[in-house]
Homo-oligomer: A and B are copies of this chain.
C-alpha cells in the first residue's frame, strides 16, 4: 500500500476532488521545486518566509542564518509550521470569469521542525542541497569551515502530514456555456535556465556548472 499523508489537519476541504495524499507524489513535486514558503507564528503574528528546500528520504529540509527568526522561532515555539510549495504551470482561460483558474502542482506540509546540530550531519545535508541546485558542484568548491557550519541553522520536518493539489487540464465551464463564442483553453507557463552569466571579476574559463532539473 502506498503511504498516505492525510490527517485531520492536512485533509483538503475546498476542491477535495483535486487533492491527493500519496507520499511518492509529494516527494516528486518537492524534488522538482526549488523554493517553498514557510509559515510560522511568533508572539501571535504569522510570518511567511520564502526559502529554498531539499529532501532526503522522508525528511524535508531548509536552512537559514542560525539566528534568523525563521530558524529560531519554530524551535522556540515547538508548534507545527505550515509549508507550501506551488509550481504555476499555466493559466486556464474559461468562457465565464468564475471558471478561470490556473494549472499548478502544490504541496502543503505540516510538522514541528527539528533542529539538526550534529556537524557531520549538517555538512552531509548541505552537500545534498548543493547537489540539487548544481549536481556535482560541492567537491569543486572551497571547503566549508566550522564558522560557516555554525552560522547556518538547519531544520527538518518528517513528511507525514501533507496534502497535494494538482490541476492539469483544460477549462471546465458550465455545460451551457460550452458554445459561448470566446477562445478558451490553457496558456502554459514555460521555465528554463538561460545562458550562464559568469561573474565579471572572473577572467579565466572554467567547466560550466550543470543547472538543476528543479525550478
Contacts and interface: CB of A to CB of B under 8 A. Distances in A.
Given A39-B39, A193-B189, A91 B133 contact: yes
Interface in A170-206: 170-171, 177-178, 180-202, 204, 206
Interface in A102-132: 102, 104, 106, 108, 110, 126-127, 130
Contacts of A170: 197, 199-201
A95 B141 contact: yes
A190 B194 CA distance: 6
A48 B45 contact: no
Contacts of A1: none
A48 B50 contact: no
A129 to B, nearest CB: 8
Contacts of A181: 204, 206
A75 interface: no
Tallying the copies of this chain within the complex gives 2
A5 interface: no
Interface residues of A, number: 94
Nearest to A204: B181
A201 B178 contact: yes
A18 interface: no
Contacts of A27: none
Nearest to A68: B14
B194 A188 contact: yes
A183 B207 contact: yes
A142 B96 contact: yes
Instruction: Give the top 10 A-B pairs by smallest Cβ distance, nearest first.
Output: A39-B48, A50-B86, A183-B206, A188-B194, A37-B37, A39-B39, A185-B198, A98-B148, A48-B84, A190-B194
25 contacts: A34-B102, A35-B102, A37-B39, A38-B48, A39-B39, A39-B47, A46-B79, A46-B80, A46-B81, A48-B48, A48-B83, A90-B194, A91-B211, A91-B212, A93-B133, A95-B142, A100-B133, A140-B182, A171-B199, A183-B202, A183-B209, A186-B199, A189-B193, A189-B215, A191-B191
